Amino acid sequence: MVGKLRFGVYDELHNGAGIDGAKTTWEVFHLAELADQLGYDIFSVIEHHFFQEFSISANSLAFFSALARKTSHLRFRTLCHTLPLRNPVVFAGEAAFADILTNGRLDIGVGRGHAWEYPAAGMPMEETQGRYEESLDIIELAWTRERFSYDGKYYKLQDVAVVPKPIQKPYPPVYMVGTSGAAFERGARKGWALAFGGPVPVSFFKAGVDRYREACAKHGIKPTVAAVRAVYIGEDEARIRAECEPALKRFYAYSATALPTLRRDPAMKQRLIDSNYAFYASDVMEQLPGLSYEKIVNEAYVYAGSAQKVLDQCGALMKEVEIDELLIISHFANLEPWKAARTQELFARDVIPHLGR
């Protein structure tokens, strides 16, 4: 790690069956306000559609635009905008407008998102890689050119002017997400950052991070790497398991809730592989709901325990993977907000001061 480590909070807006989505949305909104008050640098959410247990975060730019009025310094970041689902010239204008409304506090996370969103959206999965790559080209042109044309396979544009432009120049910081290093060469060449994290141990992502850093070195670019980890901190070790185990089990159940929709088509496994979504063709996600509490905690799928234990686990993470930012998931699977708030408070008080800020 070089320089000052930055800290943030990430929330996927899980929303279990029978739970009011408006209630969940406002709970997360207030946790973001708390993060600002506690001095965190970043507040981040996902963009996701169709499967409420996984997430109801369908319009992160609107969420951030509202939140900007209630916070003073937080940066806002979506991990990630599912670009193949969006018309890139429309998205470029929407994101620029949100950059204005947040007074230049917006970061842009880019990726293809989750494979299960595409059948629900009626989009052929085989198109997503090409649409993603063309979208990256078009969005950058939209933000940096007064007018432009584009002749791609999926998008053909003639003398287009996208307005407004972002107030951050040349455009807001861009964060790539994913588990594959295939796109990292391009991002490194452009000076884009990398964010990684998920409901599996850090070792799962290390090869991709290493590939990104190698690409940055090749192009003479200073890398920026953000890690996302789920965290639960309590003050009483004897009560921590009782407090968080039900939500942790739901967290892993929710992570696989959309998988059955990918199993309906007997040809889907090969389609996933051919579409560069091999992770979803494996059985890794299907195993998540069966994880025991002991495995989740003891093998550092989630950092749960006292502040000292979490501090030690964060230190181990930083030894394994060099990072510049650490974002914690304090609120997951409809965990009671007061528990998430306590984790944010204890992490800010008892962990961050010892990690290099």
CB 156 within 8 A of CB 150: yes
CA 244 – CA 332 distance, rounded (Å): 10
Tokens of 99: 């950059």
Segment 141-176, tens digit of pLDDT: 999 999 999 999 999 999 999 999 999 999 999 999
Segment 198-237, tens digit of pLDDT: 888 898 899 889 999 999 999 999 999 999 999 999 988 8
pLDDT computed for residue 179 by the predictor: 62
pLDDT computed for residue 288 by the predictor: 86
For the segment 123-129, the average pLDDT, to the nearest whole number, is 94
Determine phi and psi for 190, rounding to 5 degrees.
-90, -5
The DSSP element (H or E) to which 332 belongs, if any, is none
Sign of CA dihedral 257, 262, 266, 270: negative
Angstrom CA distances, 205 to 42, 223, 225, 328, 339, stand at 21, 16, 12, 16, 28
Give the list of residues 6+ apart from residue 342 with CB closer than 8 angstroms, or none.
233, 234, 235
pLDDT computed for residue 285 by the predictor: 77
Segment 5-51, tens digit of pLDDT: 999 999 999 999 999 999 999 999 999 999 999 999 999 999 999 99
In this predicted structure, the answer to whether residue 309 has a pLDDT above a threshold of 60 is yes
Q: Select from 326, 265, 321 the least CA-distant residue to 118.
A: 265
pLDDT bracket for residue 357 (50, 70, 90): low
For the segment 285-307, the average pLDDT, to the nearest whole number, is 92
Burial of 269 (0-12, 13-18, 19+ CB in 10 A): middle
pLDDT computed for residue 3 by the predictor: 54
pLDDT computed for residue 283 by the predictor: 79
CB 199 within 8 A of CB 259: no
Q: Select from 309, 304, 199 the least CA-distant residue to 250.
A: 199
Place of tokens 């002017």: 161
pLDDT computed for residue 181 by the predictor: 61
Please state the separation of Cα 64 from the chain's center in Å.
Answer: 14
- Taking the CB of residue 355, how many other CB atoms lie within 10 A of it? 16
In this predicted structure, the answer to whether residue 1 has a pLDDT above a threshold of 50 is no
pLDDT computed for residue 2 by the predictor: 42
Fold of 6-354: TIM Barrel (3.20.20)
Give the list of residues 6+ apart from residue 80 with CB closer than 8 angstroms, or none.
46, 47, 109, 110, 111, 113, 175, 176, 177, 195
CA 127 – CA 275 distance, rounded (Å): 8
Overall size of the chain counted in residues: 357
Segment 51-109, tens digit of pLDDT: 999 999 999 999 999 999 999 999 999 999 999 999 999 999 999 999 999 999 999 99
Averaged confidence pLDDT in the chain: 94
